[in-house]
Amino acid sequence: MPPTQTRGITTVTVNPSLDVSSTVDSVTPEHKLRCEAPRRAPGGGGVNVARVAHRFGVDAIAVLTCGGATGSLVTQLLQQEGVTTIAIPIDGETRQSFTVGESSTGSNYRFVLPGPTPTPHAIDQLIELADSQPKQDLVVVSGSLPPGTKPTTMSRLVDSLTDLGRTVIVDTSGPALSEALKTKALLVKPSTRELSLLTGYELLTEDDISNSARMVAAESTVGALLVSLGPGGALLVQADGTTIRYRAPTVRVLSAVGAGDSLVAGIATGLCQGSNLQQSISLGIAAGTAAVMTPGSQLCDPAQARSLLRLVTVDPQSA
């Protein structure tokens, strides 16, 4: 596949969040748990992708909904990081997500609150504003849909962008993932768990994952399916049947929070810098690996990601 040249990245986040993280010695029931000083950061799929891409030196524009004081803080924190931000006001309060690290065990506990449901008019504004950005931009639609939002919102959003000639990457879950697979997105990225839920099969081996991924890719209209395998890397299945296994380097994992978003950001960065999709995924694997080396909800360090890139191995597979 020839390189997909783009100038920058526009991300679309329907359900952003304020990510709050802290640590305690031990998580136990009933007792008051005295946490360390919290860290607050803007979050949600597309928001995190824009933040990481900006760190890589790519022009990144974050288009997101914004509700209440929490939404205003998310926007303010994004702007403080230097990310160009376009916020669409909605009723309700932007959600919060909490990550509590247990220092005695190294475990992380994640609590994700629901977000407010945007109106159809707000979704129309998201589409309009995403399309109004530079036409060369790659568009990343990432994150969950809030409760009460029709799953077809995802396919309508992506179809509106691809019909106008935009190149789109999608990272979502649940019924919205099924809708994304009906579009002409360049790439859709489910996790192994999401692939299992999508197919209804228990995926116990890599052969199970490969077979299910090929089946889903064959029945979809997207350009490629990338199944993230956690610390193991990822599996790419393209529309022409090409299958490639990416193996991540082994590192000490501090927190998996933000690893998937860093993976997508690395892929988008590679595409923006002129690499083809297969090459860009290697950078994404390195970025996702770098993210797990950081504590709490911190995202990847681009310098660390680039140093890990040479350790990513690529294994073409036969169908």
Let me know if residue 307 belongs to a domain: yes
Give the active site residue among 208, 261, 301, 315: 261
Residue 59, in any domain of the structure: yes
pLDDT-derived band at 6 (thresholds 50, 70, 90) equals low
Q: Confidence band (pLDDT; 50, 70, 90) for 10?
A: very high
- CATH code, domain carrying 47: 3.40.1190.20
With respect to residue 303, please indicate whether it lies within any of the assigned structural domains.
yes
pLDDT surpasses 70 at 5: no
Domain housing 183: 8-27+36-317
Query: Can you give the pLDDT at residue 3?
Result: 44
Taking Cα atoms as reference points, which of 138, 149, 195 lies closest to residue 176? 149
User: Does the annotation count 91 as an active-site position?
Assistant: no
In a domain, 3, yes or no: no
Question: Residue 171 pLDDT > 50, yes or no?
Answer: yes
Q: Residue 270 falls within a domain, yes or no?
A: yes
- Grade residue 296 by pLDDT with cuts at 50, 70 and 90: confident
Percent of the chain with pLDDT over 90: 81
Please compute, for residue 47, the number of CA atoms within 13 A of its CA located in the half-sphere on the CB side: 29
- What is the reported pLDDT for 305? 95
Length in residues, the chain: 319
Which pTM value belongs to this model? Answer: 0.92
1, part of any domain: no
Residue 196 lies in a domain: yes
- Predicted confidence at residue 253, as pLDDT, reads 86
Bridge-based pairing state of the strands 59-66 and 107-112? unpaired
In total, how many domains does the chain have?
1
Q: How confident is the model at residue 2 (pLDDT cuts 50, 70, 90)?
A: very low
Mean pLDDT value across the chain: 92
Does residue 263 fall inside a structural domain?
yes
CA gap 95, 76 in Å, rounded: 15
Reduce the secondary structure of the chain to three states and give it as a string.
Answer: CCCCCCCEEEEEECCCEEEEEEEECCCCCCCCCCCCCCEEEEECHHHHHHHHHHHCCCEEEEEEEECHHHHHHHHHHHHHCCCEEEEEECCCCCEEEEEEEECCCCEEEEEECCCCCCCHHHHHHHHHHHHCCCCCCEEEEECCCCCCCCCHHHHHHHHHHHCCCCCEEEECCCHHHHHHCCCCCCEECCEHHHHHHHHCCCCCCHHHHHHHHHHHHHHCCCCEEEEECHHHEEEEEECCCCEEEEECCCCCCCCCCCHHHHHHHHHHHHHHCCCCHHHHHHHHHHHHHHHHCCCCCCCCCHHHHHHHHCCCEEEEECC
pLDDT at position 146 is 93
pLDDT in tens, 74-104: 999 999 999 999 999 999 999 999 999 899 9
pLDDT in tens, 200-253: 999 999 999 999 999 999 999 999 999 999 888 999 999 888 899 999 999 998
Handedness of CA 35, 39, 42, 47 (dihedral sign): negative
